[in-house]
Amino acid sequence: MTYTVPNGLSQDQRDHYETRGFACNIPVFSTDKVAQLRHEIETLEASHGAGANGQDLNQYFRVNGHVVIPLLAELAKTPAILDAVESILGDNLLVWSVELFIKEAHTEKTVSWHQDITYWGMGETNDEVTAWVALSDVTEQAGCMRFIPGSHKNGIVDHEDTQDENNLLSRGQQIAGIREEDAQMGALKPGEMSLHHGRCFHASGPNRSDDRRIGLAIRYVTPEVRDGLPGRDYAMLVRGTDAARGWVNIAGPRDVFHRADLSLYDKIIQDQQATLTAGAEHDIALYAGKEASA
């Protein structure tokens, strides 16, 4: 579903997304705002470096951060982001997960070629879009994302688990046989975002720059994604309505790592775990121990 939202994507950006499965360099935040957001994230890292509830901070950064960290829930409601996503998904939007992908300067952390929705229990939906916002200068050297144009047009392909410890993905899952020469780079200036389709093949390289590479990934879905799916899953309504109520609608967090939100977080992870780990060749703990930093 696409239609014109006054402050949303241009026709060219929508066409690019439709034909290639991604769109890049969409301005969202000013340089000053990015500096402020980065400061807030780094302050949180300093004050909560030990994590919460027996889990390290990276667990909360890497999945469902919006459940326990108010800043991440608020960022998912940024009007400029919602307008752009509304241009693609329509006017009823929910947030399934908010995540931070941080690669420290001069580190080997990478993300292998994958399709996001492979293990998310959403079937092969067209109604999941990731907004990935650069909170640092995300150059090619810093390990920006790269995409295979048009790869979203087919279904979900086979992924193999690598369990590579330098891979930021939960099971190091990867699609074999990608032709690197077909890839298009998605370098972003601080404050710009890219949007990518849940079936678009994408990956990213190591950070060989002198600065941390900080990306904020927000996974948006529509009410229809849950149509006919078994089990329970959770999302936060950020625009329009969720009349179907296939999602368990959650509110934003009360405070940073509030006790009640931490309990909800555990419940959500427990309910999602069964779906996400289906078919894994090894026992895995979702994201835990997958340090984003060096």
Ligand X SMILES: O=C(O)CCC(=O)C(=O)O
**Residue ranges in contact with ligand X by CB under 6 A:** 101, 111, 116, 130, 132, 145, 202, 204, 215, 217
When the beta carbons of 81 and 217 are compared against ligand X, the nearer one is: 217
Exposure pattern of 42-76 as b/e (b: 16+ CB <10 Å)?
A: eebeeeeeeebeebbbbbbbbbbbbbbbbbbbebb
Q: In sequence order, which residues have a C-beta less than 8 Å from that of residue 228 and are 6 or more positions away?
A: none
Q: What are the CA-CA distances from residue 14 to residues 6, 9, 141, 151 (Å)?
A: 13, 6, 28, 16
When the beta carbons of 55 and 173 are compared against ligand X, the nearer one is: 173
When the beta carbons of 14 and 146 are compared against ligand X, the nearer one is: 146
Q: How far is the CB of 282 from ligand X (least distance, A)?
A: 21
Q: How far is the CB of 200 from ligand X (least distance, A)?
A: 9
Q: How far is the CB of 215 from ligand X (least distance, A)?
A: 4
When the beta carbons of 199 and 239 are compared against ligand X, the nearer one is: 199
Q: How far is the CB of 54 from ligand X (least distance, A)?
A: 26
Q: How far is the CB of 236 from ligand X (least distance, A)?
A: 18
When the beta carbons of 125 and 262 are compared against ligand X, the nearer one is: 125
When the beta carbons of 84 and 262 are compared against ligand X, the nearer one is: 84
Q: How far is the CB of 204 from ligand X (least distance, A)?
A: 3
